[in-house]
Amino acid sequence: MGTGTELGLCVSAFEKLKSEGIRARVVSMPSWEISRASLSLPRQCFPAATVARVSVEAAGTFGWNKYVGEHGATVGMKTFGASAPLAELSKKFGFSTEAVVAGGQAQIDRVKSAK
């Protein structure tokens, strides 16, 4: 799940997981306020049975635990104050299809091992 420009990474990761036979979905979260205002939206987008969740947010990981769950994965900046060209920052902070796929695969593995 992501909120904007990060959705491109989410879709790329979805395609990669799909090509490996893994069922996945991409959830666009353009506004946390809208999703909270509609009681049915969170249940439709995040069914209780779907516990392997990953968020992708360049601005940071704060607040995403509400959507990914206690053990969910977050791909995002965990520090403050980095400055460099976008390509360098993307690489440094793991904003890549591979990083999102790895986060998804780790979530799937975690859920399987818990069974």
Q: Where are the domains of the chain?
A: 7-114
Separation between Cα atoms, residue 16 and residue 37, nearest integer Å: 33
Burial 58-71 (b: 16+ CB within 10 A, else e): beebeebeebbbee
Q: Which of 93, 90, 87, 67 shows the shortest CA–CA distance to 2?
A: 67
Q: Which fold has domain 7-114?
A: Rossmann fold (3.40.50)
Provide the CB-side half-sphere exposure for 107 (13 A, CA). Answer: 24
Report percent pLDDT > 90 for the chain: 23
Q: Per mean pLDDT, which of 12-21, 29-38, 42-51, 84-93 is the most reliable? A: 12-21
| Residue range 84-96: mean pLDDT, rounded | 82
Instruction: Please tell me whether the overall predicted TM-score, pTM, comes out greater than 0.95 for this model.
Output: no
C-alpha 86, offset from chain centre: 20
Report pLDDT digits (tens) over 18-42: 999 998 999 888 777 766 666 556 6
Amino acid at 3: T
Ranges of H-type helices in 25-96: 32-37, 40-45, 65-68, 86-92
